[in-house]
Structures are given as C-alpha cells and as structure tokens.
Amino acid sequence: MAVSEDQALIDSRRAGEGPRAHAVARVRVPETGMAHELRAVKVVWQRELIRFGRDRMRIITALIQPVLFLFVLGTGLSQLTTGTTQGVNLRTFMFPGALAMTVLFTSVFSAGSIVWDREFGFLREMLVAPISRASIVVGKALGGATVATFQGVVILAMAGLVGVPYSPTLILAVLGELMLLSFTLTAFGIMAAARIKSFQAFMALTQMLLMPLFFLSGALFPLGNLPSWLRLLTRVNPLTYAVDPIRRSVFAHLDVSAHARDVLAPGLTWGGWRVPIYLELVVVAAFGIGMLMIGVAEFRRAE
C-alpha cells in the first residue's frame, strides 16, 4: 500500500473520531500525557500495596529473620563480646543492621513480583497498555519501597526493646534513610527481574547476592579497623552507604561515651576522609536511580 494511502486512512479515521451517540457509557480515552502516566504509576503502586496486604504470611515471614538476628544472635553473641562493645549492648549495635536486613529482603523479593507477573501473564497486561515503560517500573519501585519501608517500621518499633530511644528526630531520620534504602534495593531487584525470566533463577541469583551484600555492609560489625581486603569490599558495597547513616543516626541519640561512638560507629572513610552522611545518601540514591534507569532500558529493549 502506498504511503499516501496510509496517511489518508489515518486522516479519515481521525476525522471520524467523535462521540458515538448510540453507545451507552462509551468512554473516551485521552491522548497520552503526564497526568495519564502519573495515574499509571499510582495504580501500579496501589496494586503492590493491595497484594502485600492480602499476603499476611509474607508480612510475618519477612520479619522472622531480622528478629532472629537481633534477639537470638544478638543476645547469644553478647556473651562473647561484653568486653569489646564499650558497654553498649550488642543488640543495640546490631539494630541498624537488622533494619537494613529487613528492608533488603523485602525490597528485593517485592521486585521479584515482576518475575511472577511475567510467569502468570499479568506483565503482558501492563506491557500492552498505552503507557511508558518508565511508569510501570517507577510504580513497581515505589510499591516495593513502600512495602519494605513498612516492614522496616515494624522492626523500628522494637527500638525500645534493644535500648534505642524513641526520639522523634531519630525516628524521622531513620525513616527517611529506610525509604531511600528501600527504593534503591527495589530498583536493584527490578534491574535483575527485567532480565531474569524464571522465578527459580531470580531466587538463586538473589540468594547468592543478598547474603554477601549484607555481610559486607558493616551491618554486623564496625567499619573501623578492618583488614584492607575487607575494607575495600565494604567500600564498594552500596549497602554500606545505607547502613552507616542509620547507625550514625542511632548512635547520635545514644547516651554513650565518645570513645564508644568512635569505635562502634566510626563512620565511613575514603582514604582517611570521613564521608559525610549526606554524601552517603547521595551515593545510595545515585545507585538506585542508575539501576532503575537500567531496568527501564531493559524493558524498552525487550519490546
């Protein structure tokens, strides 16, 4: 067919667009625009929340591991470490790590819902809609981040049990840090889920990556006097840049000696320079945005 004929067909179709009198409640779908994309982001986000709310088992199972770490490992190990924690309870020290762990697992598994959606066909419902791939990915990222932050808040509510004060400024600071971390980790999960087609492979990959990420983040030990190989590994781990601000926020509100603070929450250093909290948070955000963009590109490419 000649191009001009195509165009004529398109033009005639456009000209014929008008409300049809005989169709009851026939809806008119507007042209694509920012408002439409935002509606799409919102509904993808809402779906994540609805599904999370329906899955009570998931809410509980996601809390088991951090609670075990905090109360069983934290209590048990404290018998060995009493002399070295400068009078600070080991559970108090591990609290930021437990928060990070909660968020880590919840975020990444929330992002895994993309793999489920693909397997059960629902992803196609989203991919054939007249919306940008970015809206789907951003909606998913915000949904996963909200869910993970909620789980983190449940652990945060246990602060009093491990000797961390319920100070409003502390709670607000930690909440903000958890939200940012949740977003970045969900973005990481989405980036992985964009490429991985089977849920088994996704589980295997995340299992393989999550524990090393967690152990190398300083969630369970201070970042101070580490051997150089371990120092390097912690510095290249994005999770380190999220755990450290949480720990520094917590320690700023603890009634402990300056020495204890220096030993247990020395802050992250780059070749002797102490990285300010805001820069750490910028690193986390940059990782998140970067991985999200890779995720969007993957979905665009897959079309």
Partner 1 sequence: MSSVSVGPQGGSPRAISVRGLVKRYDSVEAVRGVDFDVAPGEVFGFLGPNGAGKSTTINVLCTLIRPTAGTALVAGYDVARQRDQVRRNIGLVFQDTTLDSYLTAEQNLRFHAELYGVPRASLPDRMRQVLEMVGLWERRGSVVMTFSGGMKRRLEIARGLMHSPRVLFLDEPTVGLDPQTRSSIWGYIQELKRAEDITIFLTTHYMDEAEYCDRIAIMDAGQIVVIDTPEALKASVGTDRVKISTTDDPAAIAALRDRFGMEAKMSEGAVMFSVPGGEQFVPRLFGELGVPITSVSVARPSLDDVFMSYTGTTIRDAEAASSSDFIRMAVRARR
125 makes contact with partner 1 (CB under 8 A): yes
Binding-site member from 18, 29, 57, 229 for partner 1 (CB under 8 A): 29
Which residues, at least 6 apart from 124, have a Cβ–Cβ distance to it below 8 Å? none
Using the minimum distance from each CB to partner 1, give the nearer residue, 59 or 285: 59
Q: Residue 222's closest CA among 263, 258, 252, 256?
A: 263
43 makes contact with partner 1 (CB under 8 A): yes
Q: What is the C-alpha to C-alpha distance for residues 137 and 135, in angstroms, rounded to an integer?
A: 5
221 makes contact with partner 1 (CB under 8 A): no
Binding-site member from 4, 18, 54, 272 for partner 1 (CB under 8 A): 54
Can you tell me which residue has the tokens 């809410």?
Answer: 59
Binding-site member from 68, 129, 201, 211 for partner 1 (CB under 8 A): 129
Class of residue 225 by CB neighbours under 10 A (exposed 0-12, middle 13-18, buried 19+): exposed
Distances (CA, A) of 159 to 45, 75, 98: 29, 15, 11
Q: Residue 285's closest CA among 139, 158, 187?
A: 187
56 makes contact with partner 1 (CB under 8 A): no
Closest CB 198 distance from partner 1, rounded Å = 12
115 makes contact with partner 1 (CB under 8 A): no
Q: Are 70 and 156 spatial neighbours (Cβ–Cβ below 8 Å)?
A: no
82 makes contact with partner 1 (CB under 8 A): no
Size of the site for partner 1 (CB under 8 A): 42
Which residues of this chain interact with partner 1, rule CB under 8 A? Answer: 1, 6, 9-10, 12-14, 16, 20, 22-30, 32, 36, 39-40, 42-43, 47, 50-51, 54-55, 118, 120-122, 124-131, 303
